Structure 1
Amino acid sequence: MRLVQVLIPNGTRESVLSVLDDEGIDYAVWAETGRGNFEALVSFPIPESGVESVLDRLGAAGIQEDAYTIVLATETVVSERIDALEERYTGLRISRDELVARAKDLAPARSTYVAFLVLSTIIATAGLLLDSAATIIGAMVVAPLMGPAITASVGTVLGDERLASRGVTFQVFGLVLAVAVGAVVGFVLKETVFLPPGLDIRDIPQVTERTSPNFLSLFLALGSGLAGAISVMRNAGSALVGVAIAVALIPPAATAGLGIAWGFSGVALAAGTLVLVNLLAINLSALVLFYAAGYRPVEDETRDAAGVRRAVATRLVGIVAGLLVLSVVLGAVTYSEFVTNEFEVQATGAAHAMLNEPQYEGLTIEGTTVDYHGIDILTGEPPRVEIVVGVEGDAAVPQTLAERFDERLQSATGTDPTVRVGFLDEQVSP
């Protein structure tokens, strides 16, 4: 429920009150005794979904932008008369003007934005190096990235180029800054006692997770953008949703920075690709949802519905084109992960099945290690499999065991792997 207060310009009182009467809205009117530009103040309660349509009608009746209109959130309205309005205005979204106000509130001042972004990136970078998911999530609470993403989409659908440009600029600048901060932190910590000597960031699970972008990453970003848009237009849960948006952007940006610091171009490119995919997907889903929800600009001599539709379509085409290009990378990574995982499952199963045969009694597999990655598929490198075989007592070990494993794995997987077999002697008490 909202409480709307409007200062009525001189000469428009009758037309304004006529609109409220037509809408069946109860109101209270006070004479205005200020500077003389307004003749009265009218105050009325209305469900939040009815604010936009009523303000549009009041605008046609003489309440222009140079007047004063205040929309307040109310805790409770006690009156049976309000039921009719609630039945009439049954939507859930907030008004266009409230949406703009919330978008502006979510986009902080530049200095505040930079400070929170730098701090969140430093924390996220430390979390990556510590392989601490809890630390990374904590950094996301600080990250201020939801505001610019929402601001860009709101500005586009409402034809506010200044708002849209500010949102896009803040997003691009913020993510470039995050990559730079991650790189600086990496350079500073790389040769210090805070990290183990010779640390290879590619072996850290939290880093590896963000250097293999696949289509599941796209779904995460799309969901985050939709959740952000819903939380804003329904005025619920924005802080928690902001964490989801930040999770999709800050950790991969920090990972790209670490890739630069360690000189691993593959890490930097893979994480950078993930950042771009997530950024485009978040903006795409938020933009589509706001437009589908019916948000449109107030038509005047500078903005018209056709122009806004063109602007929305242009931005959608640009975002979708970018996603299609990056989807080639996502598809390649997704396919390579499927192929390598399938090979590992098949190879491990075939090796165990082979030693379960009677002629290999006394031999057991103690462990298998498969070294096979997506880049190997592109370069044509064969899979590398290491098998540790336990030998019980006087069990006979065939001299050609490695070749037999090779033939069995080749038959099972359709590839020609390189097999290395190690042995672990065992003594079993009677």
Structure 2
Amino acid sequence: MLHLRVISPPDRTDELVRILETDPGVTHLTVARGVALMPAGDLVQADVAREAANKVLADVKALGVVEHGGITLGPVTTVLSDAADRAVRNAPGDPSDAVVWDQLLKETREESSLNATFVAFLTIACLLAAIGVATDSPVTIVGAMVVGPEFGPLAALSVALVRRNWRLARRSVIALAVAFPIALLITLGATIVWERLGWITTARVIDAHSVDFIYEVGPFSLVVALLAGAAGMLSLVTAKSAALIGVFISVTTVPAAGYAVVAATIGQWHRAFESVGQLAVNLVGIVIAGVLVLELRPKSGDETGPLGRFKRAIGMRTVLER
């Protein structure tokens, strides 16, 4: 379930309470009048079944609470209550299938911000990838995959395309388009220094066959990108962080970028171009998979998506949702 906390203008509290009382997916409703100071108003709290959250948020926002008060929504880790169980049963749909769009938009918007932290993480990941290529170290390559923060903007771009949120799409593209060149330039400078010191040689890179998967583009390059993108988006909408780690170590976006820099500095241009191709395949595949996952999942608690229609058609609703 999700915990809803609303600071409501006093003249709209009664209508807000009526909306929450009549929704079958809402329970544990409490009202504290006049306790909110900034902004001033009443405090209304409730627990909401995840699959009912989109409708509840839309109804609450229609009262103008966002402009004159505030809405906070967060997960509830443990709920021991028959009333909560009834709310989950009465809400249409399945909690695991529900996409809370306001929550997802907020999370992906934060992950797609172009800031010093994002650039730093991407730069460190590219440096680790370059070191992994130079030392023929798959372990270091995996470390670069985990550190790389590029999935955030890619997921945000998928959400933006589905929701037609062009501002978020532009924000995501800018984050990638600016951060990657900065990270690659820094990695290029470091690689040149390593080459001058004799740490990187053409022979060492050519003979590093254990990391050939980084630049070799094949049919499974797209397949892995699609599967990883699908798993990553599912992990976001269902809050399965462990699955997201698996996504990070499945795709070769950052390693491909690091390999391209190393290959270019030692004149291995064909490998550099192949690495860029691998990078492009991974970026595009992740976004496509994210869009497909969001399009196939129910858009609200009423099971309007293809998955909901499929479940109704084969009679699984009672088994899966009760």
- TM-score bracket, normalised by the shorter chain, equals 0.7 to 0.9
Contact 2:111 2:152 in 1 (8 A): yes
Contact 2:136 2:209 in 1 (8 A): yes
Contact 1:9 1:62 in 2 (8 A): no
Q: 1:66 deviation in Å?
A: 4.3
Q: Name the amino acid aligned to 2:289.
A: S
Contact 2:222 2:281 in 1 (8 A): yes
The answer on 1:123 being equivalent to 2:125 is no
Further displaced range: 173-182 or 282-291: 173-182
The answer on 1:233 being equivalent to 2:234 is no
Aligned residues: 294
The answer on 1:212 being equivalent to 2:236 is no
**Distance between the aligned counterparts of 1:207 and 1:35, measured in 2?**
58
Q: Secondary structure at the match of 1:32?
A: strand
Q: Can you list the C-alpha shifts for 1:39-83, whole angstroms capped at 9, x where unaligned?
A: 422111122222111111223345345430111222222221112
**Distance between the aligned counterparts of 2:161 and 2:184, measured in 1?**
27
The answer on 1:163 being equivalent to 2:168 is yes
Q: 1:200 deviation in Å?
A: 5.1
Q: Secondary structure at the match of 1:77?
A: coil
Label 1:3 to 1:264 Cα distance change in 2 as closer, same or farther (>3 A): same
Q: Name the amino acid aligned to 1:18.
A: R
Label 1:278 to 1:37 Cα distance change in 2 as closer, same or farther (>3 A): closer
Structure 2 match to 1:323: none
The TM-score with structure 2 as length reference comes to: 0.82
The TM-score with structure 1 as length reference comes to: 0.63
Matching of residues 241-252 of structure 1 within 5 Å: 241=246, 243-244=248-249, 247-252=251-256
Q: Secondary structure at the match of 1:81?
A: helix
Contact 1:211 1:267 in 2 (8 A): yes
Q: Name the amino acid aligned to 1:16.
A: L
Q: Secondary structure at the match of 2:292?
A: helix
The answer on 1:222 being equivalent to 2:232 is no
Q: Secondary structure at the match of 1:226?
A: helix
**Distance between the aligned counterparts of 1:139 and 1:34, measured in 2?**
46
Structure 2 match to 1:292: 296
Identity of aligned residues (%): 23
Higher relative contact order (CA 8 A, sep 6+): 2
Q: Which runs of 5+ in 2 are unaligned?
A: 301-322
Contact 1:202 1:208 in 2 (8 A): no
Q: 1:116 deviation in Å?
A: 1.1
**Distance between the aligned counterparts of 1:214 and 1:63, measured in 2?**
52
Contact 2:30 2:46 in 1 (8 A): yes
**Distance between the aligned counterparts of 1:253 and 1:177, measured in 2?**
12
Q: Name the amino acid aligned to 1:226.
A: A
Matching of residues 342-421 of structure 1 within 5 Å: none
Q: Name the amino acid aligned to 1:143.
A: G
Which is higher, the Rg of structure 1 or of structure 2? 1
Q: 1:108 deviation in Å?
A: 5.2
Q: Secondary structure at the match of 1:186?
A: helix
Q: 1:149 deviation in Å?
A: 0.8
The answer on 1:55 being equivalent to 2:57 is yes
Label 1:127 to 1:37 Cα distance change in 2 as closer, same or farther (>3 A): closer
Q: Can you list the C-alpha shifts for 1:239-295, whole angstroms capped at 9, x where unaligned?
A: 5145236x4201111111112101222111111111111111111111222233245
Q: Can you list the C-alpha shifts for 1:117-145, whole angstroms capped at 9, x where unaligned?
A: 11111111111111111111112222111
Q: 1:163 deviation in Å?
A: 1.8
Q: Out of 106, 111, 136, which is 1:106 matched to?
A: 111
Contact 1:183 1:257 in 2 (8 A): yes
Label 1:152 to 1:13 Cα distance change in 2 as closer, same or farther (>3 A): same
**Distance between the aligned counterparts of 1:100 and 1:66, measured in 2?**
21
